[in-house]
Amino acid sequence: MASDSSPANFNNGPSSPGDSFSTPIANSSSPAHRRRRGRRQASIPSSAAATPSPNPSRFANSSSTPTPSRSTRRGRRPATSPTPAAAATPSSTDDFPPPSSDGGDDMEEATPTFVWGTNISVQDVKNAIQMFIKHFRETHELRNDVYGEGKYMRLIHRVLEIEGEWIDVDAHDVFNYDSDLYNKMVRYPLEVLAIFDIVLMDIVSLINPLFDKHVQVRIHNLKSSTSMRNLNPSDIEKMVSLKGMVIRCSSIIPEIREAVFRCIVCGYHSDPVVVDRGRITEPTTCSNQECLAKNSMTLVHNRCRFADKQIVRLQETPDEIPEGGTPHTVSLLMHDKLVDAGKPGDRVEITGIYRAMSVRVGPTQRTVKSLFKTYIDCLHIEKTDKSRMMSEDPMEVDKGSQRVEDDVQFDEDKVEELKELSKQPDIYERLTRSLAPNIWELDDIKKGLLCQLFGGNALKLPSGASFRGDINILLVGDPGTSKSQLLQYIHKLAPRGIYTSGRGSSAVGLTAYVTKDPETGETVLESGALVLSDRGICCIDEFDKMSDNARSMLHEVMEQQTVSIAKAGIIASLNARTSVLACANPSGSRYNPRLSVIDNIHLPPTLLSRFDLIYLVLDKADEQTDRRLAKHIVSLHFEDTQIAEQDVLDLATLTAYVSYARKNIHPQLSDEAAEELTRGYVEMRKRGNFPGSSKKVITATPRQIESLIRLSEALARIRFSEWVEMRDVTEAFRLLEVAMQQSATDHSTGTIDMDLITTGVSASERMRRENVLAATRNIIMEKIQLGGPSVRLLELLDELKKQSSGSEIHLHDLRNAVATLASEGFVVLQGDSVKRI
Amino acid sequence: MGGPPYDCMANPLGAVRLTFEKAIGSGSLTQTHPLAFDGKDWGALDLFRHFLFQESGLSQVPILNSKTMRWVQPNSLVRYRGMIQDMLGNEFYVGAYKDGNLWRTNKFMDVSQYPMGTPPDMCVWERRLLYCVPVPGQSSWTEPSCEMEPNRGMDWSSQNREKRRRMDDEDADPLDLREDGFPSPSPESRDSKTASSSSSMSTFQYVDKDNLPCLVKIYDSPESELKLNDVFEFIGVLTVDSELAVEKDDNDELSNSFYDDALVHLPPNKVPRLHCLVHRKLAVHDFLQSSPIMEPHLVKGIREALFRHLTTVLGNDEVAAHFMLLHLLSKVHARVDDVAVGKLSLNLMGLSKESATVFGTRLSQAFKSLLPFTHFIPLTLEYLNTASLAPKKDYQENRLIPGVLQLPEGSHIMVDETQLESGSLSSIGIENTKSLKNLMEFQKVEYDFQYYKMEMAADVQLLIFSEGKSNIVPADVVVPFQPSSLESFEIPVAEALEAWRWYLATVRLLPHSIGSEMQKVVEDDLVAARQADRSLGSRDFSRWLTMARLVSSSFGETCLSLEHWQMVKELERLRRERLK
């Protein structure tokens, strides 16, 4: 409590109401009264101690923190004051004996001392603390060696060895050992901590009487932490623990604790003058008996003693702010070692004593305003930083092979929760459902996007070759198929993501530019997107409208992950380790199934092949879907009830899940998985020249196997698994095939190559499909006249079902069959209707 | 209580004190400990509520603004209308303390009048500090006509002023003050003191003549009741502590560094303090001079008249006028995920720079007379690169620096994009366009807290003029504007304006529902429309339904009818035709 801001503690308050008075609050503060006397005395000897006397233990200590009363260190430092009070008062009239190992005890011998305004006996507390320090053992220690030293004894030894200045005491330990002591400590921190320090010093001096540093107790990890918003008058002078973000640090304030004056007449140096009530009284006369000059004393700066002090402002973290509120702030007072422990922007959890001081109206006025300024006397500060990662850098991933170990850590509870989640058997499906729950179906696309979010492992070989871990996805499709919404959603989920429209995106430009279309007068914002989304996801809408120039940049980005900019003869290579999620409209406004994908989107195959997954999002003119959409929108507008979405993770959890996985899970291929990959790849290669295949198809390239590895790694990450397993590989193949089914094309006919799918299935399945094909051909021969009116696919399906009783036939199968027929030039497929030609 | 023995207007603190003493039972032997009143009212508020609302004292309470500030007296009852611009956290104060044997209270005061005792003899309570400003873009009609005769005010003010003088006086004998605590209308004149106090009054220097901010201190009300950007009327005690200004000179380093919060930057001679007794949230209705009671059939009449007015203003473009009317009635009804349901921003395109100026002026004039809070943003490169649209936290001053987009619910913004030229945007410009776009699409504004951003929900109507379709601020409805005449419109009569304001304010609050049959029709229509035109997406459907709701409420109906649904489809058809 040697708080300087509350100097009044030590002096006899009533005389100076105008002084900043830190103890306005009922009883808790008042121990000052009792202690005041002791302290006052203490200050006298301490000044003596300041003239270094090679005295053992406490004297020495008191000299290191010499000014019990006025020291900068506030309450937390209570040790300073009481210690000398208890021990360093040989000269005082009190019955404190000269420093001895048990000196502290006598304080209570005079009369049983109580913490002011309570029935808490100082002696009891002291004993309790002694017991705690000496005998506390962690549970696992209890079992093993009962005779070894307790946790805190060991800590003390260590502190002595490294000449530390404090020991951290976990409040949970205190609670577990002696909950009564814990409660007292939280309610009367000033008093209890003072005693704590005394006990500690006693122990220290027993172990090493020559140890001349002052060791303090730092309590942390309280049982309950308060929200800044809920601090109220009843918390004053209590120990509190808060989470928040440091927003401002003052410069370090050297606070004078002890001043030395020199007489300008005779050169006599005064005894050190201790700060009293925040002030140093300059001696008016020289105390040299031979001089006695008046007003001759001047301060000798380099003989004064200063301590570090800093005022830090802490602000609520966004998650604690209620709707419609602004963040609260609170001032913290840091001392000595705590100075500069937190920098602006750090998220910290602090433990300290909530204090209030009254506001003086003016330096000269005696009236006290009825206001109090509050601050927290900081005892302990701990960086938490977990949420910062989420808000700022959830996409912060592997940095090549040398992964920088961040000190960033998730809250243990949260991690547990996430791990629990990851153990659910259906986590993959569940995450898929949680991704853009407002967009229905498109499940396979969502699965692909999920893989993109989690990403594979980037690899950098010693040779310098690097393999990206980012998965690039292209969505091609008809307008109005919520591609853009998907993009927006992913963009939101990945805060480092950049959303840009291909139209007018200069891709590399570092600045943004407004352009005006000379014809329509439409204004467009051009921005450089890729560089900005380093380590994120770059979402490019209207990819097809991107200028060739900009697009060519993407080649480099998507494989080498850098952007080169040539300006004024200098070529700069900037990192752009980004996943690209692009969506493109077909070159005609609708996808033309008769043209190849490449023709449809006007993208060069070289660029196209850099996408791991290419999805065709075709708008199937399905009345059911439309009706669902209509219903959804009507209910959105007319029913106040929220559309119930059960079993879906909220965005925050999803983000946490993704970032945790990206951060902490780095799956490796198991042998089994590697085997399967090789096998699958070889099979894919073979398909290209499958004997039954009459047409050329895109065969698998080494790029595909890289994609497969990335996808399976991502899938393992989804499960929080360190090993890529067989099933991951299988699913990766499936995803790739689903994407290929829709996008792998046959250039000879320009249609979607259904053969590819046929060859991808088992022999029996192939047989079945051939049967369907034959049946369809027959039906069409029967039903449709050459050049006659077209027939809808659904009608054909009914017919087909009638004929082939027994086996299930899906629209999907039919569509395949018809497409094959169309490629043979037998029929024309227009949207949903079939016409014979 | 019949005939209150105290003057709530001139000496509200006296009333507070009396009720406190009564509640605490001073004089009697058993005093209630004031702890019982922590966070509670002891009856003072009832007294004021009774006075304000039952005895209709409200209209007599002067409204605090830069004009009235000249003659309103400190420590008297005033009301202040404004938007909560920033919250400065809580403040601890000595709520009650023992003076001798008597408990006294400091509630609703800044400075204690008696020397305060030692800790056990005082109770610390807390109050919230809100920094309020006049609502940005407030139209002149919302300001109540100043019916307070300053003369009448002077009568009691001179006497009061002198009281204040005495309170300020440090040397004042406590006894004197105590006397003063009671409402003693003693018209003794101490001219010299009055004169000196009036000089102290002149120390008010407002940065902005028309913009009087106010620091409101709120007692005992739940946090959720007052939210950022809400428009409130605060009725309470005005204090202007000149003494507080001295704080600045206090060179005690420690206290200074604790102080370097907002209060230092809000010296009381620039920002008056209001100790709030009663607060109430203001709706547009509260700004209307009279609230005409309208019959449903009258609503149609008003709608027709307003529509005609808008048509004239828009150069006889009826389609645009229809959309304009719907636009003015739009309001965010619900938020589902990211979708703000009910907003309808309007983009009038096809305007050149010149025509935008002409119609811009006409429209903004019209809006000013119809809507309570209006804004105009000339979207130029320079503006984008320099303006601060989103509010930003300044940690030096510990204040939220207001941005153009920090607006209360129901504000209207007109953006003129025709003036935008090609050119580079600075990083500020990018932020600004992003903010505008965010507001447009999600009705949310990101407040910049430097270390993180916080999204605040907004409800702002946005109208954009542009040459082509605006891509920088993509609106819900794009209507090619086709004015046919430029005839000047007559200024509508006051009653008509009043009726229209009432109409706009009332109709947009109407509830809305849909019958199951109608729902079926709508769904079928949507499905059919989508079958016919695959490019229609959820956004279009959403717009149609918003329009349907607005059309039907514009006729004062609460249930969607087929007729109105047809009207929406027709409007949409007309609009699409123009787009071709």
Name which residue leads in pLDDT, B85 or B8: B85
Instruction: Identify all chain B residues contacting A30, using CB atoms and an 8 Å cutoff.
Output: 119-120
Measured CA to CA, the distance from residue A84 to residue A63 in angstroms comes to: 9
- Mean of pLDDT values over A332-358: 80
Are A630 and B530 a contacting pair at CB < 8 A? Answer: yes
Name which residue leads in pLDDT, A86 or B28: B28
Judged against a pLDDT cut of 60, whether residue A704 lies above it is answered with: yes
Surface of B (396-415) touching A: CB under 8 A? 398, 400
Three-state SS letters, A366-410: CCEEEEEEEEEEEEEEEECCHHHHHHHCCCCCCCCCCCCCCCCCC
Are A637 and B546 a contacting pair at CB < 8 A? Answer: yes
Measured CA to CA, the distance from residue A79 to residue A274 in angstroms comes to: 17
Which parts of B171-313 fold into alpha helices (H)? 174-181, 191-201, 253-259, 262-265, 284-287, 296-313
What angle (nearest 5°) sits at the alpha carbon of residue B216, between those of residues B214 and B220? 175
Measured CA to CA, the distance from residue A741 to residue B340 in angstroms comes to: 38
Instruction: Identify all chain B residues contacting A513, using CB atoms and an 8 Å cutoff.
Output: 422-425
Are A98 and A205 in a shared domain?
yes
Measured CA to CA, the distance from residue B375 to residue B460 in angstroms comes to: 10
The beta-carbon neighbor of A637 closest among B86, B244, B545 is B545
- Mean of pLDDT values over B178-195: 37
Q: Which amino acid is at B473?
A: V
Q: Token pair of A520, please? A: 């329509």
Are B545 and A638 a contacting pair at CB < 8 A? Answer: yes
Measured CA to CA, the distance from residue A185 to residue A170 in angstroms comes to: 12
Tell me the shortest Cα–Cα distance from A482 to chain B, in angstroms: 8
Tell me the shortest Cα–Cα distance from B94 to chain A, in angstroms: 5
Q: Find, in chain B, the residue whose alpha carbon is nearest to that of A355.
A: B92
Tell me the shortest Cα–Cα distance from B54 to chain A, in angstroms: 32
Q: Which residues contact A265 (CB under 8 A, 6 or more apart)?
A: A286, A291, A293, A296
Question: Tell me, what's the pLDDT at B149?
Answer: 43
Which residue spans within B24-121 are E strands per DSSP?
Answer: 77-99, 102-105
Are A753 and A768 in a shared domain?
no
A457 inside domain: yes
Are A525 and B254 a contacting pair at CB < 8 A? Answer: no
Measured CA to CA, the distance from residue A542 to residue A501 in angstroms comes to: 6
Question: Tell me, what's the pLDDT at B247?
Answer: 44
Q: Please tell me what DSSP assigns to residue B279.
A: E
B339-377: pLDDT as tens digits: 788 889 998 888 887 888 888 888 888 888 888 888 888
Q: Which residues contact B54 (CB under 8 A, 6 or more apart)?
A: none
Q: Does B542 touch chain A (CB under 8 A)?
A: yes
Is A477 within 8 Å of A591 (Cβ atoms)?
Answer: yes
Tell me the shortest Cα–Cα distance from B556 to chain A, in angstroms: 17
Q: Find, in chain B, the residue whose alpha carbon is nearest to that of A358.
A: B93
Write the CATH number for A113. Answer: 3.30.1640.10
A45 inside domain: yes
Are A522 and B469 a contacting pair at CB < 8 A? Answer: yes
Instruction: Identify all chain A residues contacting B353, using CB atoms and an 8 Å cutoff.
Output: none
* Measured torsion, CA atoms of residues A368, A369, A370, A371, in degrees rounded to the nearest 10: -120
Longest dimension (CA), chain A: 134
Q: Does B177 touch chain A (CB under 8 A)?
A: no
Surface of B (256-295) touching A: CB under 8 A? 257-259, 261
Are A35 and A84 in a shared domain?
yes
Judged against a pLDDT cut of 60, whether residue B569 lies above it is answered with: yes
Longest dimension (CA), chain B: 88
Confidence band of B529 (pLDDT split at 50, 70, 90): confident
Are A11 and A112 in a shared domain?
yes
A592 inside domain: yes
Instruction: Identify all chain B residues contacting A368, using CB atoms and an 8 Å cutoff.
Output: 112, 115-116
Judged against a pLDDT cut of 80, whether residue B235 lies above it is answered with: yes
Name which residue leads in pLDDT, B464 or A437: B464
Is A527 within 8 Å of A506 (Cβ atoms)?
Answer: yes
Q: Find, in chain A, the residue whose alpha carbon is nearest to that of B129.
A: A328
Are A521 and B467 a contacting pair at CB < 8 A? Answer: yes
Confidence band of A16 (pLDDT split at 50, 70, 90): very low
Are A736 and A802 in a shared domain?
no
Q: Using only C-alpha atoms, what is the Rg of chain A?
A: 38
Question: Tell me, what's the pLDDT at A567?
Answer: 56
Are A370 and B111 a contacting pair at CB < 8 A? Answer: yes
Are A507 and A594 in a shared domain?
yes
Q: Hey, is A827 helix, strand or coil?
A: strand
Q: Token pair of B354, please? A: 């010149």
The beta-carbon neighbor of B106 closest among A14, A370, A525 is A370
Confidence band of A54 (pLDDT split at 50, 70, 90): very low
A126 inside domain: yes
What is the CB neighbour count within 10 angstroms for residue A506?
21
Sign of torsion, CA A116 A118 A122 A128? negative
Q: Using only C-alpha atoms, what is the Rg of chain B?
A: 28
Is B509 within 8 Å of B353 (Cβ atoms)?
Answer: no
Confidence band of B503 (pLDDT split at 50, 70, 90): confident
Question: Tell me, what's the pLDDT at A237?
Answer: 83
Question: Tell me, what's the pLDDT at A302?
Answer: 81
Q: Which amino acid is at B196?
A: S
Judged against a pLDDT cut of 50, whether residue B418 lies above it is answered with: yes
CATH class of residue range B12-142+209-242+257-281? mainly beta
Report the domain count for chain A. 5
Question: Tell me, what's the pLDDT at B120?
Answer: 60
Which parts of A77-170 fold into alpha helices (H)? 82-87, 103-110, 122-135, 139-144, 151-161
**B316-493 CATH fold:** Rossmann fold (3.40.50)
How many beta-carbon pairs below 8 A join chains A and B? Answer: 277
Is A129 within 8 Å of A201 (Cβ atoms)?
Answer: no
- Mean of pLDDT values over B179-204: 37
Question: Tell me, what's the pLDDT at A820?
Answer: 77
Determine which helix (DSSP H) or strand (DSSP E) holds A608, and give its type and residue range. helix A605-608
Three-state SS letters, A647-677: CCCCHHHHHHHHHHHHHHCCCEECHHHHHHH
A485-498: pLDDT as tens digits: 788 778 777 656 66
Q: Which residues contact A152 (CB under 8 A, 6 or more apart)?
A: A132, A133, A134, A136, A167, A169, A173
Q: How many residues does chain A have?
A: 837
Is A66 within 8 Å of A81 (Cβ atoms)?
Answer: no
Tell me the shortest Cα–Cα distance from A25 to chain B, in angstroms: 5
Q: Which amino acid is at A424?
A: Q
Of B418, B312, B311, B413, nearest to B357 (Cα)?
B418
The beta-carbon neighbor of B258 closest among A245, A375, A513 is A375
The beta-carbon neighbor of B537 closest among A480, A501, A513 is A480
Confidence band of B115 (pLDDT split at 50, 70, 90): low
What is the CB neighbour count within 10 angstroms for residue B254?
20
A260-290: pLDDT as tens digits: 888 877 877 777 777 766 677 777 777 777 7
Q: Which amino acid is at B8?
A: C
Tell me the shortest Cα–Cα distance from B70 to chain A, in angstroms: 25
Are A717 and A813 in a shared domain?
no
Q: Please tell me what DSSP assigns to residue B31.
A: P
A592-634: pLDDT as tens digits: 666 666 666 667 667 777 777 777 776 665 677 777 777 777 7
Q: Hey, is B477 helix, strand or coil?
A: strand
Determine which helix (DSSP H) or strand (DSSP E) holds A244, and give its type and residue range. strand A239-249
Q: Does B511 touch chain A (CB under 8 A)?
A: no
Instruction: Identify all chain A residues contacting B90, using CB atoms and an 8 Å cutoff.
Output: 231-232, 328
Q: Please tell me what DSSP assigns to residue A582.
A: E
- Mean of pLDDT values over B95-108: 77
Write the CATH number for A816. Answer: 1.10.10.10
Is B123 within 8 Å of B34 (Cβ atoms)?
Answer: yes
Name which residue leads in pLDDT, B166 or B48: B48
Domain that holds residue A143: 2-221
Measured CA to CA, the distance from residue A42 to residue B66 in angstroms comes to: 57
- Mean of pLDDT values over A696-706: 64
Residue A802's alpha-carbon distances to A6, A712, A809, A829, A832, in angstroms, are 93, 42, 10, 22, 20
Tell me the shortest Cα–Cα distance from B142 to chain A, in angstroms: 25
Residue A728's alpha-carbon distances to A699, A709, B26, in angstroms, are 22, 9, 80
Write the CATH number for A243. Answer: 2.40.50.140
Q: Token pair of A51, please? A: 């003239």
Q: Where are the domains of chain B?
A: 12-142+209-242+257-281, 316-493
Are A681 and A828 in a shared domain?
no
A569 inside domain: yes
* Measured torsion, CA atoms of residues B1, B4, B10, B12, in degrees rounded to the nearest 10: -50
Are A329 and B341 a contacting pair at CB < 8 A? Answer: no
Measured CA to CA, the distance from residue A524 to residue A504 in angstroms comes to: 7
SS3 content of chain A, % helix, strand, coil (to 5): 40, 20, 40
Of A438, A434, A441, nearest to A647 (Cα)?
A434
Confidence band of A151 (pLDDT split at 50, 70, 90): confident
Are A24 and B119 a contacting pair at CB < 8 A? Answer: yes
Place of tokens 């899906």: A810
Question: Tell me, what's the pLDDT at A354?
Answer: 87
A413 inside domain: no
Instruction: Identify all chain A residues contacting B549, using CB atoms and an 8 Å cutoff.
Output: 637
Residue B489's alpha-carbon distances to A155, A287, A631, in angstroms, are 86, 92, 44
Q: Token pair of A638, please? A: 């007319």
Question: Tell me, what's the pLDDT at A58?
Answer: 32
Is A576 within 8 Å of A535 (Cβ atoms)?
Answer: no
Q: Which among A735, A758, A781 is the end of a domain?
A: A758
Are A636 and B115 a contacting pair at CB < 8 A? Answer: no
Measured CA to CA, the distance from residue B17 to residue B109 in angstroms comes to: 11
Average pLDDT score over chain A: 67
Tell me the shortest Cα–Cα distance from A702 to chain B, in angstroms: 38
| Residues facing residue A669 across a β-bridge | A724
Looking at this predicted complex, what is its ipTM?
Answer: 0.74
Question: Tell me, what's the pLDDT at B245?
Answer: 44
Is A720 within 8 Å of A661 (Cβ atoms)?
Answer: yes
* Measured torsion, CA atoms of residues B67, B68, B74, B77, in degrees rounded to the nearest 10: -140
- Mean of pLDDT values over A567-578: 64
Are A511 and A620 in a shared domain?
yes
| Residues facing residue A254 across a β-bridge | A308
Write the CATH number for A587. Answer: 3.40.50.300
Are A337 and A483 in a shared domain?
no
Place of tokens 């027994």: A806
A190 inside domain: yes
A705 inside domain: yes
Write the CATH number for A676. Answer: 1.10.8
Question: Tell me, what's the pLDDT at A622?
Answer: 66
Sign of torsion, CA B303 B309 B313 B315? positive
